[in-house]
Structure 1
């Protein structure tokens, strides 16, 4: 099992042997067939096959059967699934495997094949030459099989796709790399192969390799398989808000703002997290981890053309909740001359609410700031009302008022030179209109 931090852990064998004794006695039978081909009077080649298996279920008080125990799979594990480990045990293993193992028994049996050269000492008797000599069968040369997975709508190579190349009862399974290539199957014999590909629960249309493909020129049989998932792929990265360094093992939450459905994922060792986004939809992404805070980042697929775009990228800045830390809350807006909490502002405050719940010792000051336009006294009063409205919202959701302080600063803490008497653009005034949280105690 891959950890968010540190080396992989060996947690569970899902398929293993459990014979009652390591060394047992058994009655066995052996049969074989040998084919020889004479090259000259003394030299020849041969092909031999032997079949060996146990006779009966027991012999001499020992079991002659081969015991195998395994856990039945409920649903397959994918690279995006998260296994939760508590006290060195996988807490959510029953989501993927049955709780009780199944033990099976079978006879011990094997098939051995050998190809060799034979040399006969002494002189052999002269043999009459047959009238007709059959020409040896010419066997086609093996070829490498190379499978590349591409996004059907954009033609881009797809990584992280589970590709299975099957022939008869044999399966070769691998994960496509950054070039969309599955593991190359080296020196594959001529025959019929079936290729499947799955990513994010969506299967591509099956592709086949036929014997006719082996008859074409070249040492490699190349096949493309097209994966058609209408969703966009969000590739995010958790980084420090102060110095942009990568932070692995951070829990993130994706929310569809239309139906408030949530998905969660922990960033991997490379600080990456991946979500699938529906078309024409709006989302928010936040970090959800004790001792940490992130902005509520907004992501939308509205206006994006899936035939031209596959990936949406995002960097999620993470702050530590240290005493004295001041964080500007993005995307909190108020109607002109109003202090009531709008629906879009409520989504941002819900993130603050979750942080307060996750960190019960946290106390904060929630402050509101205006730009310099309007009278100073009026701006001070308006900012105080807005700060109190935000605090009242959190109190109404169950947060103790003793952990919250509302403070309106009006236009006393401008972030630029746009004070009274200065002409500034709307964008410059917008910088000063903000809501902040300050960590008082943690």
Structure 2
């Protein structure tokens, strides 16, 4: 059902992104759609050597809408392939005879779905764009899918891999579908979308000949030096049919025809006055148009009449307005804006009244993303913190599923930006509002990264440098060790080892002692910052864990030796 949740979230996101959140102008009537698509199945029937392939989907829908709500009927035909993945190359019998002759049967699976259920849609004021969310409950058929692999070299028709397939005639099923439609005219348009189908009865066949539903011959895996598999004489089978999960997701595109639809505005007489209000959000200092600004139109009693969010051009349009005195308020990322007002006499029939609201805050807005370091993988749900300890200022927010976050950056002062999430070791970025010009920029785009911490895996601490033959902590090293302190404060249950490494120069005993002293110095600093000594240990590895070829007697450059002189931290795995 995870995919169904994603479809619902996308539907509501698309509805909220467009103009105003008011009841749209709608038309009632029948709508007929035909489509073709690509279906990706999931047959969780415990058949380790059988794959089920994506295949074509064809369908049709007949819907009737009263306004934003309707009812519809769907029919879908789906064809998925099967593929045996049982290894037949370099296969030997248990007595060592090579098996070279096989008979393979791979039947396709066909599914048909018939369902009925409610529709929900958002229709743009122009009626060109339509977003629909359809839910269906009904019956389905599932047929085919038999897979059989026989070898005929030693034993005639010895069964190696088998699944009996399906023959279901009335399986209860449900479907959720998200569809986006663009109408070229009142009657004809195109659409695209995605769906999720769940079959609640996925019972397999019991094969009358073999007496099993599925099974396969076990074999002994090949070794590193001998690339072959040998049958061990055991046939793993399941004699009871499994009512296993059957579902699929898919994408599609097609055409839509609207039948005998009648737009509501045509029901009004030609002399009916039409009023509209357009609100533009703009920055006071840069004159920049502001998208994603929340707008509310209130009457003089403070009651909310309309709400909406500005589009990428910084504009939201409210249709079907009644001429009146209104107060227009705006908010961008929790900061209130300088509003505006309307009077009843400003509204003109068949014209759109233009108003502006202004963002006058002198602070910057950080729009950033959080990634796993050295990758493009976003980190969702990480708590991003902006902090200035001297000014006792601390702000935080959580990233969304794409790793995006938004924070207010004061125009002056130096701040640290870092992330907090279990098992993540965050970089600490320094941000100074004085480095930017508020008269030229409102938004500051930043990226921050954090490393995924796995116990026992070493993570390099940068700039932990020592003078030759010394082990005193330098100022540049404290910045990186403070990052380790922050990680341990955010993860109070973890224990950490700080490991120090040297290059191969000097004796083994000297390097071991020097590296242990350096590791101890790093530990002492972390403890001095408030970390309990029982949670952190230091280990000097000397030259025992070189990262390159530069061992004793090997001629290496200074840069190659520098690679081995490093300090690492790793989380100690629980016993």
Aligned position for 2:319: 186
Deviations 1:304-348 (A, max 9, x none): 111222222233333332133222335666789875446665454
Report the CA distance shift for 1:315/1:381 in structure 2 as closer, same or farther (over 3 A).
farther
Match of residue 309, structure 2, among 165, 173, 176:
176
Aligned position for 1:271: 403
Deviations 1:130-163 (A, max 9, x none): xxxxxxxxx9933211112122222222234332
1:8-23 superposed matches below 5 A? none
- Supply the distance in 2 between the matched residues of 1:253 and 1:433 (Cα, whole angstroms): 32
- Supply the distance in 2 between the matched residues of 1:430 and 1:260 (Cα, whole angstroms): 40
Query: Unaligned 5+ residue runs, structure 2?
Result: 10-270
**Correspondence 1:256 to 2:388:** yes
Q: The residue matched to 1:395 in structure 2 has which SS?
A: helix
Deviations 1:247-270 (A, max 9, x none): 322223222254353323221233
**Correspondence 1:388 to 2:520:** yes
Aligned position for 1:107: none
**Correspondence 1:231 to 2:375:** no
Aligned position for 1:197: 330
- Supply the distance in 2 between the matched residues of 1:335 and 1:201 (Cα, whole angstroms): 49
- Supply the distance in 2 between the matched residues of 1:229 and 1:415 (Cα, whole angstroms): 54
Match of residue 302, structure 1, among 434, 442, 452:
434
Match of residue 143, structure 1, among 275, 284, 296:
275
Aligned position for 2:354: 222
CA drift of 1:384 comes to 4.8
Aligned position for 2:38: none
TM-score in terms of structure 2 length: 0.44
Q: The residue matched to 1:387 in structure 2 has which SS?
A: helix
- Supply the distance in 2 between the matched residues of 1:300 and 1:375 (Cα, whole angstroms): 44
Report the CA distance shift for 1:201/1:249 in structure 2 as closer, same or farther (over 3 A).
closer
Kindly tell me the number of residue pairs found equivalent between the two proteins: 302
**Correspondence 1:355 to 2:487:** yes
**Correspondence 1:285 to 2:391:** no
Report the CA distance shift for 1:278/1:249 in structure 2 as closer, same or farther (over 3 A).
same
Q: The residue matched to 2:368 in structure 1 has which SS?
A: strand
Counterpart contact for 1:388–1:406, Cα < 8 Å: yes
Counterpart contact for 1:371–1:414, Cα < 8 Å: no
Deviations 1:3-43 (A, max 9, x none): xx9889xxxxxxxxxxxxxxxxxxxxxxxxxxxxxxxxxxx
Match of residue 366, structure 1, among 486, 494, 498:
498
Counterpart contact for 2:285–2:438, Cα < 8 Å: yes
1:402-441 superposed matches below 5 A? 403-407=536-540, 413=546, 422=557, 435-441=567-573
- Supply the distance in 2 between the matched residues of 1:376 and 1:157 (Cα, whole angstroms): 66
Aligned position for 1:42: none
CA drift of 1:200 comes to 4.6
Deviations 1:33-92 (A, max 9, x none): xxxxxxxxxxxxxxxxxxxxxxxxxxxxxxxxxxxxxxxxxxxxxxxxxxxxxxxxxxxx
- Supply the distance in 2 between the matched residues of 1:177 and 1:240 (Cα, whole angstroms): 32
CA drift of 1:441 comes to 1.8
Counterpart contact for 1:247–1:271, Cα < 8 Å: yes
Report the CA distance shift for 1:311/1:286 in structure 2 as closer, same or farther (over 3 A).
same
- Supply the distance in 1 between the matched residues of 2:408 and 2:422 (Cα, whole angstroms): 25
CA drift of 1:276 comes to 0.8
**Correspondence 1:399 to 2:525:** no
- Supply the distance in 2 between the matched residues of 1:339 and 1:219 (Cα, whole angstroms): 77
CA drift of 1:277 comes to 0.9
- Supply the distance in 1 between the matched residues of 2:306 and 2:482 (Cα, whole angstroms): 43
Bigger strand fraction:
2
CA drift of 1:391 comes to 0.7
CA drift of 1:229 comes to 1.5
- Supply the distance in 1 between the matched residues of 2:538 and 2:360 (Cα, whole angstroms): 51
Aligned position for 1:207: 340
**Correspondence 1:156 to 2:288:** yes
CA RMSD of the aligned region, Å?
4.1
Counterpart contact for 1:159–1:175, Cα < 8 Å: no
- Supply the distance in 2 between the matched residues of 1:222 and 1:247 (Cα, whole angstroms): 41
- Supply the distance in 2 between the matched residues of 1:400 and 1:367 (Cα, whole angstroms): 15
- Supply the distance in 2 between the matched residues of 1:387 and 1:232 (Cα, whole angstroms): 41
CA drift of 1:381 comes to 6.8
Deviations 1:261-316 (A, max 9, x none): 33232212332221111123322222222222222233333321112222222333
Counterpart contact for 1:251–1:265, Cα < 8 Å: yes
Aligned position for 2:22: none
Query: Unaligned 5+ residue runs, structure 1?
Result: 9-138
1:311-390 superposed matches below 5 A? 311-330=443-462, 339-341=471-473, 345-346=477-478, 348-359=480-491, 362-368=494-500, 384-390=516-522
- Supply the distance in 1 between the matched residues of 2:330 and 2:405 (Cα, whole angstroms): 22
Report the CA distance shift for 1:173/1:391 in structure 2 as closer, same or farther (over 3 A).
farther
Counterpart contact for 1:146–1:181, Cα < 8 Å: no
